[in-house]
Amino acid sequence: MITQEKYRTTVKELLANGTIKMAIGYRPGSTSDRRRPLFIRTSEEADQLVLDSTCITNLSGYLVAEGLLSDEKRVGIFLRPEGIRSINILAAEYQLNVDQIVIFGFDSTGREVRPLQGQTTSDFSALLSEIRENPPLTTKEPLLERIEKMNAKERFDFWQQEFSRCIKCYACRQACPMCYCRRCIVDSNQPQWVNTSSHTLGNFEWNVVRAFHLSGRCVQCGNCDRACPVNIPLRFINQRMAKEVVDGFDHFAGLSPTQEPVLASFKKDDTETFIL
Amino acid sequence: MTRILFSDKLDNCVAKWRSAGLTVIGPVQGESLSSYATVEKGTDLHLGMVLPDRSLKELFFPQTEPMLRYTIKKNEIETADFTPPSAQRIIFGARPCDASGLAIDDPLFGWDYKDEYWFQRRNESVIVTIACTKADDFCLCTSLKLAPDSTKGTDVLLRPLDKNRGWLVEELTDRGREAFAIISEYLQESSETALPTVEVPEKFNLDACVAWLQNPENFDSKFWKEISMRCIGCASCTYLCPTCHCFDIQDEGDTYSGIRRKNWDSCSFALFTMHTSGHNPRSTQSARWRQRIMHKFNYFPGKFSVNSCSGCGRCSRQCPVDMGITETLQEISKL
């Protein structure tokens, strides 16, 4: 509650003195355990701000939607550490200018929410390095352990079964801060490069495209997984791809706004194990 | 006197319907998702849930469906039609909102061109609906002038007895009577009364909302931008909706042969109205959300005299950013 009150006051001050034109945060949702994205432009709207452990959604995608930053004014945004990493990646991929972003950082342990010190991404570089070295403990997921034990055939069958539920609503794409392409490959229809059908092949095509495109860019915020209306455990795909990128290229995405994107850069000492 | 179907006879009924050649379909809780699916035994049915995650629509209008196979030859194009495999079906345990959704879409699919895929499946299906004795925070049938025991789109309505013992049977159509004649040996005469249906509070004044939507001045209202600012533009709401019916026709194949398919499409997508020139008349997410609401509560009823919403609440229940029809119409009610 203290953190929430403190941030309400900060947002009001920064709006009043013209530092930011808007802050993006959370407000109560339609049930007690839900939170909705909130766009704060006035003091009254700031009073709707909620900050607690149920504020999970990574809001950074809104920064690059429909030209929010095109007037070069500053926008404040509430972010957990993985959201700050998203901002760094978006900056590294030239999608936004970090000088336009005022970060209201927060994190939570259990039900306790606490502020993170700093306002610009560089203020958090020590924190992000620390997270890289000592990733926060996550609860064991029995399904993940099951998948890790599968051989290639079993894994293929498992994912085929999971993807069979896919309806190609693209909620995973739309919820992802990294899926900012003006025209996604699956929407490129002159000609239609990827089938639009959500049959077995089509669902595989989409999910494989998505997995590869997010490799080395995903911060595992879980937006895609939570957005999926048919409950495909997408987080496991992204976690695994992130691990491959760390193991293969020593690349932990989102450490700084100038970090080179791993799949868009070349290093002489890259391992070549993937070249057949 | 009415007739009762006791729960402990459900296995017998399913077996009887199956031996009569009917495919039996009903709500099933999968490992991570619930939907209407084919069952082999009565005990495979999960009749206790508020409603399945996925709607009944997809059993009549699947997410992807082959229409024809084409082969382009030197001087001619050969085509072969696909038709849905013929299967007499009984859907046991539909919810009134899902059954209503089918009836709402009937005029749409039969308006100028009679969609044979839809109507073949409609004609081959008996809808046995169970009245609702529980609801969740997202149910809104009563706000749409429907009810937890609406009979729209239903062939037989079942009203639950206490302690999950069974249901009072109300046969509403000839198709329903025929299906229940097959299992008549398992029905008992009784004077029991059914449980009351669940109270679903009205969430907005529909007439007031519709009047606001019909006022042309409100088409360009600032309201649309405000209400949809957080919409991320996925199709979760439209694809889970029991009445959203838009589709796209696509040819899949190479230069010489392929399959023409009918796939779900959504007004939430920017691509939905993108012209070949690159111009998009609905270039913003707010214009697309406005279209969805206008279509359901203004244009569709203008043409077919019925709202294109049956109040299942899936749009709000599943929305990644907690939007939905309920919030939008509640906010319109306040304007």
pLDDT tens for B231-275 read 999 999 999 999 999 999 999 998 899 999 999 999 999 999 999
Q: At what angle do helices A200-213 and A152-163 cross, to 10 degrees?
A: 110
Q: What Å distances lie between residue B296 and A52, B241, B299, B313, CA to CA?
A: 36, 11, 7, 14
Q: Is A121 in the same domain as A154?
A: no
Confidence of residue B216 (pLDDT cuts 50, 70, 90): very high
pLDDT digits (tens, 9 = 90+) for B47-103: 999 999 999 999 999 999 999 999 999 999 999 999 888 899 999 999 999 999 999
Confidence of residue A274 (pLDDT cuts 50, 70, 90): low
| Residue B313 dihedral angles phi and psi, to the nearest 5° | 85, 5
What is the CB neighbour count within 10 angstroms for residue B18?
Answer: 15
Nearest to A39 among B229, B276, B318 (CB): B229
Expressed as residue numbers, the domain containing A205 is: 142-264
Chain B residues touching A226 at Cβ < 8 A? 320
Question: Which residues 55-94 of B are in CB contact (within 8 Å) with A?
Answer: 63-64
- Contact present, B31 and A161 (Cβ < 8 Å): no
| Residue A9 dihedral angles phi and psi, to the nearest 5° | -65, -45
What is the CB neighbour count within 10 angstroms for residue B195?
Answer: 15
Tokens of A178: 């990294």
Q: Is A152 in the same domain as A79?
A: no
pLDDT digits (tens, 9 = 90+) for B165-196: 999 999 999 999 999 999 999 999 989 999 99
Establish if A270 belongs to a structural domain: no
Q: Is A201 in the same domain as A257?
A: yes
Question: Which residues 31-50 of B are in CB contact (within 8 Å) with A?
Answer: 32-33
Of A100, A133, A166, the residue that ends a domain is: A133
CA atoms within 13 A on the CB side of B287: 12
- Chain A CB within 8 Å of residue B249 CB: no
Q: Is A78 in the same domain as A17?
A: yes
Q: How many folded domains does chain A comprise?
A: 2
From the CA of B248, how many Å to the nearest CA of chain A?
Answer: 9
- Contact present, A82 and A55 (Cβ < 8 Å): no
- Contact present, B64 and B263 (Cβ < 8 Å): yes
**Residue A92: what pLDDT?**
96
Establish if A274 belongs to a structural domain: no
Q: What Å distances lie between residue B106 and A58, B56, B57, B268, CA to CA?
A: 41, 14, 11, 23
Specify the higher pLDDT residue, A135 or A179: A179
Q: Is A126 in the same domain as A148?
A: no
Starting at the earlier edge strand, list the strands of the sheet with B166-171: B34-38, B23-29, B89-94, B125-130, B156-160, B166-171, B2-6, B187-190
Establish if A275 belongs to a structural domain: no
H or E stretch covering B22: none
Establish if A272 belongs to a structural domain: no
Tokens of B208: 């007031």
Chain B residues touching A57 at Cβ < 8 A? 320-321
Nearest to A67 by CA among A180, A184, A183: A180
Nearest to A29 among B63, B248, B322 (CB): B322
Prediction ipTM score: 0.94
Establish if A69 belongs to a structural domain: yes
Confidence of residue A267 (pLDDT cuts 50, 70, 90): confident
Chain A residues touching B240 at Cβ < 8 A? 229
Residue in chain A lying closest to B253 (CA) = A195
pLDDT digits (tens, 9 = 90+) for A227-265: 999 999 999 999 999 999 998 889 999 999 999 998 888
Nearest to B226 by CA among B267, B283, B286: B286
Q: Which residues contact B98 (CB under 8 A, 6 or more apart)?
A: B36, B51, B55, B56, B57, B242, B310, B312
Q: Which of B29, B31, B32, B251 to mutate to test the interface with A (most CBs of A within 10 A)?
A: B32
Does the beta-carbon distance from B284 to A189 stay under 8 Å? no
- Chain A CB within 8 Å of residue B326 CB: yes
**Residue A276: what pLDDT?**
56
* Number of residues written out for chain A: 276
**Residue B28: what pLDDT?**
98
Residue in chain A lying closest to B268 (CA) = A169
Does the beta-carbon distance from A198 to B264 stay under 8 Å? yes
Q: Is A125 in the same domain as A157?
A: no
Does the beta-carbon distance from A227 to B138 stay under 8 Å? no
Q: Is A29 in the same domain as A120?
A: yes
Cα–Cα distance measured from residue A201 to residue B69, given in angstroms and rounded to the nearest whole number: 17
Does the beta-carbon distance from A35 to B269 stay under 8 Å? no
Q: Is A14 in the same domain as A114?
A: yes
| Residue B223 dihedral angles phi and psi, to the nearest 5° | -50, -40
Does the beta-carbon distance from A198 to B252 stay under 8 Å? no
Q: What Å distances lie between residue B72 and A196, B230, B251, CA to CA?
A: 22, 46, 13
**Residue B65: what pLDDT?**
96
- Contact present, B334 and B215 (Cβ < 8 Å): no
pLDDT digits (tens, 9 = 90+) for A203-236: 999 999 999 999 999 999 999 999 999 999 999 9
Question: Which residues 136-195 of B are in CB contact (within 8 Å) with A?
Answer: 137-138
Beta bridge partners of B38: B25
